[in-house]
Amino acid sequence: MQHTTVRRAGAVIAGALALSLTVAGCSTDAEEPAAGASGSSGAESSSVAQSVEEPSLEFAGPNGEVPGTLDELTLTDEEAATVADGGYTAAFVWHTSSEFVDAVEKGATEQLADLGIEVVASTEAAFDAATQANNVESVMALDPDIVIGIAADPTSAAQSFQPIVDAGKQLVIMTTPPAGYTAGDQFVSIVTESLTDAGRANAELLGDALGGEGKVAYLFHDADFWFTNQRDEAFKDWLGHSYPDMEIVAEEGFTDEARTEEIAAALLLKNPDITGIYVPWATAAQGVLAAVKAAGRTDVAIVTNDLDTTLAADMAAGGNIAGLVGNGSLDIGRGLAIAGAYGLLDTEAPALVASPPVKVTADNLAEGWLADYGVEPPASVQAG
C-alpha cells in the first residue's frame, strides 16, 4: 500500500542533522521573537561550560507534549483520495511575514495542492494581536475547512482563534498555540523545528569555526517561551559537552531584538577576548553583526537560527557569520498540510512533530537555501 508522507528536503544536505527526538523559524519561531531562555540577564560565567554526560535530545512542547518525527504524519492512497474528493479549502493565519514564513507556506501550499485542497487566503499580523484577530475574522468569512496558524500572542489568541474552533474547522498550529488550547481538542497538531537538534547544530557550527577553542558570548531571549528556552539551552549544553576548550565568558538576555546591537557592543568592550557569539535568531543577529563590524572585529564568529539574506550575504563574502541553522521550513509546511488532512479525516494526529534542522555554511549555502526555502538564494547572497 502506498502512503503520502512528508518529503524530506533537508535530507539532501550534507549538513542536515539526524532527528533523534524532535519538536520551528519558526521560527517562531514562532520563528523569531516568540521565545526565551532561562537565566539572569547580564550574568557572566568564568568557568568553562562543560557537560560530563552527553546532553539529552529530549524536550517538551508547550503543554508537555512529547515530540515525534515528521515521518509519523502519513496518509494512505485511499485517505489522500478521500481528502481530494472533498473539495476542501484552507487558509493561513500567520504572525508575521518573513522568508521563513514564505518557505513554510510554500511547502504547505504544495502539499495541499497534492491533496486537492485550495488555498483561499493568507494573512500576516506583523506581530500585532489586534491585527491577527481581524485577520481571523476575514479568513473565517471565506469558510475554509482548514486553518493553519500561529499565535502572535498566545494569551489574546485564545479568544481571537475561538471562532475557528466554534465553527468546527481543522486548526493546525505552527509552533505557538493559543494559551489553553490542546491537541485533539481545539487543534489537530503542532508542527515545528527540532529544538535540541538546532541547539546542537549551532554549537557544532561555532565549534568548527573556532577550531574547538575560544571565548564565547551567549545571547538568549529573556522571556518565558517554550520554544527558544529549550533551543538556547541546548546550544549551551552541547557547546560545553562537545567543545570543552571553549568558554562561555558572558551571558546576556534580551526581550527586544532591536537592542542586540547595543548589547553586543557592550559585551565586546567588556570582554575583548570574545571570538564567538551565539544569537537565538537571525533578525536579532543582524544587530550583533552590526556591532561586531562597527568594532572592527573580523575575528569574531557568529552563529544563529534561520536563513536570512543579510546574514547569508555576509557569510558568502567571508564575513563574521560562520553558520546559520535552517528550520526545515518546507517540511514544516508539508507537515502542517498533512496534519490538516488528519483533521478532515477525523484521524488522531501526533500532538507535536518536528522538522530536523539544516546546518548551512558558506560551503553549502546555495544547496542549503534551496533545501530549506525551496528557492535559489537571492542575487546578493550568490554574489557574496
DSSP string, 176-205: -PPTT--BTTTBS-EEEE-HHHHHHHHHHH
> Which helix (H) or strand (E) covers residue 310, if one does?
helix 309-316
Please tell me the predicted confidence (pLDDT) of residue 383. 61
- pLDDT at residue 28 is higher than 90: no
Determine the angle formed by the axes of helices 282-294 and 260-270, rounding to 10 degrees: 40
364-380 pLDDT tens trace: 999 999 999 999 999 98
Cell of 82: 478521500
Inter-residue contact 358 to 202 (CB < 8 Å): no
pLDDT at residue number 6: 54
pLDDT in tens, 135-147: 999 999 999 999 9
What are 300-352's pLDDT values in tens digits? 999 999 999 999 999 999 999 999 999 999 999 999 999 999 999 999 999 99
Give the per-residue pLDDT at 75: 97
Give yes or no for residue 357 having a pLDDT over 60. yes
6-27 average pLDDT score: 37
Task: Return the bridge partners of 171, or none.
Answer: 147
DSSP code, position 151:
-
pLDDT of 382:
80
Q: How confident is the model at residue 118 (pLDDT cuts 50, 70, 90)?
A: very high
The string of pLDDT tens digits covering residues 88-103 is 999 999 999 988 999 9
- Residue 127 pLDDT level (bands cut at 50, 70, 90): confident
Task: Report whether 171 contacts 326 (CB < 8 A).
Answer: no
Q: Is the pLDDT of residue 17 over 70?
A: no
Rg of the Cα atoms in the chain:
20
- Name the more confident of 60 and 51: 60
